[in-house]
Amino acid sequence: MKLCDFNSLVATELKNVLTTEEGTSLWFERTHHFWEETPPRAIPETFILCSVMKNVSGFRRRMDLDSKVRKYGTEIAESRDIFGDVLYNAADKTCFYVSIQRKTAQKVASLECNIDASTCLIQPLLPMMKIVDGTVDQANSIEGNVVTILAHLSSSAQGRNIHLDQLVSVIQERPYEDCQEQLMLALPSSSEKYSCPNEELPKSFITPTKIDDSTLQFKVDIKEVEEENIPETLLAFVTGLAARQIIDHVEIDAKYYDDYEYKEKKS
């Protein structure tokens, strides 16, 4: 899948932070690295899988994609639905999030999509593809004491018991170098403007909740954060979430929770 194809499917920060030439080069480099890399564990990861079969319905395309994946995904239980959200469904193609092991995706890519690109496209969901468009602007225009961050789970993680406090701890207690790397991977050119805070917010300042099977909510208390440090504090946490394989996309919610004390401080 080309960068321009992805940008036509999903509105993310990726289209805002790089020139076309820079973006195309980085897209190729990171996608190639992903396919060549040995995954650390044999667990499901999220991919974008598209059918470009002509003159057939979206349902027929989905059935064809399911058949292609299960041909190589011997580890997939017959009862498990590999498909997540529909990203796009029109006359030219139908695209889904799918959650499968990398070894299976590699076989689909090399033995199906690369051989017959007229029927399918497959693309790994990289961290830089997970940050919803407008997130950086939101981080720079906070007007309250508490910010809501939403993280949407991959289909393989939905319905599972997610240890939310542990997830927050892993992100907030990571080494500074890991934070910087995750910021660079998720927000390529913004990482030149922002850096991770020298001290992460105490995890007690972040209240995680599972809203439903597919969505996690994090209320971040920023009243103790210096105003100029708010964007990098929020973006460090957002990109930490984007680095998790169980997360498909992340955003800062536009709804903020002001309180009287903060308004008095600003006036």
Residue 262: CB partners within 8 Å, gap ≥ 6? 144, 145, 223
> pLDDT, tens digit, for every residue of 225-245?
988 899 999 999 999 999 999
The mean pLDDT of 86-98, rounded to a whole number, is: 93
Residue ranges covered by each domain of the chain: 3-126, 135-266
pLDDT greater than 70 at residue 123: yes
Residue 130: CB partners within 8 Å, gap ≥ 6? 12, 186, 242, 247, 248, 249, 250
- Burial of residue 166, with CB atoms counted within 10 A of its CB: 0-12 exposed, 13-18 middle, 19 or more buried: exposed
CA-nearest of 151, 157, 131 to 10 is: 131
> pLDDT, tens digit, for every residue of 156-198?
898 888 999 999 999 999 999 999 999 999 998 766 788 898 8
CA 157 to mean position of chain CA atoms: 13
Unique residue bearing structure tokens 């639905």:
81
For residue 18, what pLDDT is reported?
61
For residue 256, what pLDDT is reported?
41
- Burial of residue 128, with CB atoms counted within 10 A of its CB: 0-12 exposed, 13-18 middle, 19 or more buried: buried
Q: How many CB atoms lie within 10 A of CB 24?
A: 14
CATH number of 3-126: 3.30.70
Whole-angstrom distance, CA of residue 172 vs CA of residue 200: 6
Local confidence band at 5 (pLDDT 50, 70, 90 cut-offs): confident
Q: How many CB atoms lie within 10 A of CB 66?
A: 19
Local confidence band at 255 (pLDDT 50, 70, 90 cut-offs): low
- Burial of residue 125, with CB atoms counted within 10 A of its CB: 0-12 exposed, 13-18 middle, 19 or more buried: buried
> pLDDT, tens digit, for every residue of 9-65?
888 888 775 667 777 888 999 999 999 988 777 788 999 999 999 999 999 999 999
3-class state of residue 61 by DSSP? helix
pLDDT greater than 50 at residue 261: no
The mean pLDDT of 259-264, rounded to a whole number, is: 35
21-25, 83-87, 88-92, 261-265: least confidently modelled range: 261-265
Whole-angstrom distance, CA of residue 60 vs CA of residue 89: 12
What predicted TM-score, i.e. pTM, was given to this entire model?
0.87
Whole-angstrom distance, CA of residue 53 vs CA of residue 92: 8
* Residue 147 DSSP code: E
Give alpha helix (H) positions in the chain: 3-9, 14-17, 20-36, 58-72, 102-108, 135-139, 164-172, 176-186, 230-242, 260-266
For residue 263, what pLDDT is reported?
36
36, amino acid identity: E
> pLDDT, tens digit, for every residue of 192-226?
788 898 877 888 899 999 999 899 999 999 998 98
Whole-angstrom distance, CA of residue 103 vs CA of residue 96: 19
CA 261 to mean position of chain CA atoms: 35
The mean pLDDT of 114-136, rounded to a whole number, is: 87
